[in-house]
Amino acid sequence: MATGTIRYWAAAKDAAGLAEEPFDAATLGELMTKITENRDKLASVVRRSSFLVDGDPVGKRDHDQIVLGEGATVEVLPPFAGG
């Protein structure tokens, strides 16, 4: 089990009600389950978001296969409107 920080951006920040929070999880999949439990609005945003783990894009990899290291920083990046 690793501890670290999860940072929320844009719509994810609004849905979470805060910019960042500490976490305790072994994988990205476990972390996503924990942060969305009883937070329906955040769950909706997370489902369509991209993620960075320590600055590296997760892409389409299975979140249950992304192991989080001690002190990891996970960033939740919802789709951004472009122009």
Q: Is the separation of the CB atoms in 26 and 4 below 8 Å?
A: no
Average pLDDT over residues 1-9: 96
Ranges of each domain in the chain: 2-77
CATH topology of domain 2-77: Ubiquitin-like (UB roll) (3.10.20)
Question: Is residue 80 very low, low, confident or very high in pLDDT (cuts 50, 70, 90)?
Answer: confident
pTM of this structure: 0.93
Strand partners, 59: none
What is the sign of the dihedral through the CA atoms of 38, 40, 6 and 47?
positive
CB atoms within 10 A of CB 56: 9
- Element spanning 28, H or E: helix 28-36
Contact 72, 34 (CB under 8 A): no
- Residue 35: per-residue pLDDT: 97
Could you read off the pLDDT of 10-66 as tens digits, one per residue? 999 999 999 999 999 999 999 999 999 999 999 999 999 999 999 999 999 999 999
